[in-house]
Amino acid sequence: MKIKKAVIPAAGFGTRFLPATKASPKEMLPVVDKPVIQYIVEEAAQSGIEEVIIITGSNKRSIEDHFDYNFELEYRLKQAGKYELCEEIRKISNMVKIVYVRQKEQLGNGHAVLQAKEIVGDEPFAVMWGDEFTDSKTPWLKQLIEVYEKYRASVIAAMRVDDEATKQYGIIEGKAIEPKITLVSRLLEKPGPEAVKSRLASVGRYILHPAIFEILPNTPPHKDGEIYLPDAINILAQKQAVYAYEFEGIRFDTGSKLGFLKATVHFGLKHNDLRESFKDYLLKKINNSSYNKNK
């Protein structure tokens, strides 16, 4: 069955970016000239997704406004003769069908995914975290879809990490069955380097069998009362095949301040209108003696 739907949980408070996210969603923070969530929706569209379900919460209305038509803005741009910019703005609203579902309580990312059950129905679907994306030749999600089409089973995006990062990610244990493909036996949440031999971490993209919707309501919550999707995937892996795929591309986690800055620098240096002047600026700052002293 073709992967046609993708779920993007985007209901979190974005506390790591306060006060910037007090009234504006973290998903709407701009990386150069596009908000983070636009990069993710573009990836979905480029991967063949037909319908995106965005799970929202309070103070997230600007996400809906961003992907809606803005007739007054388009009129003003046309009046000013900015036809190319007007066309670019219009394309944002036409990329893919988008449905919004409100998560009324902050009960974890697993609970957020569960809110999409009625819309997804009984078919495999994608999950895309709302603050992670890549710069890659083949769209990140499309890489996972290609693995799903080969094995017809759930797929987790994975990457190799160092010892310290085992304290920050869910770590995948399993059996390598071919280059970059691992049959998952279990997921361990932030175990630390002494607890596992594996250095394969689970990150921001999934293709999931709809059986996950039957598992999530019965997944034990953590001490904070939240249900986490990786816990449900761990249970799923005990019942049917789940694969991990080591994707190709440069991943950015804009949910952290450092990750957001890295994404801004990376895409700023790729921007045709900014590349040279931005590069010169960065080099001057790095070589500036007073800057190095402050560091």
Residue 81: count of CB within 10 angstroms of its CB = 9
**171: nearest Cα among 204, 201, 205, 197:** 201
d(CA 65, CA 77): 18
pTM above 0.85, yes or no: yes
Q: What is the pLDDT of residue 293?
A: 60
Q: Percent of the chain scored above 70 by pLDDT?
A: 98
Q: 58 pLDDT band (50/70/90 cuts)? A: confident
Report the pLDDT averaged over residues 26-35: 94
| Spatial contact of 171 and 199, defined as CB atoms under 8 Å apart | yes
Residue 244: count of CB within 10 angstroms of its CB = 27
Taking the CA atoms of residue 164, residue 220, residue 27 and residue 22 in that order, the dihedral angle to the nearest 10 degrees is: -100
Q: What is the pLDDT of residue 210?
A: 97
Six-digit token string for 131: 């603050």
What domains are defined for the chain? 5-255 (3.90.550.10)
Q: Provide the 3-class DSSP secondary structure of residue 238.
A: helix
Rounded to 5 degrees, what are φ and ψ at 13? -80, -15
291, pLDDT greater than 70: no
d(CA 36, CA 30): 6
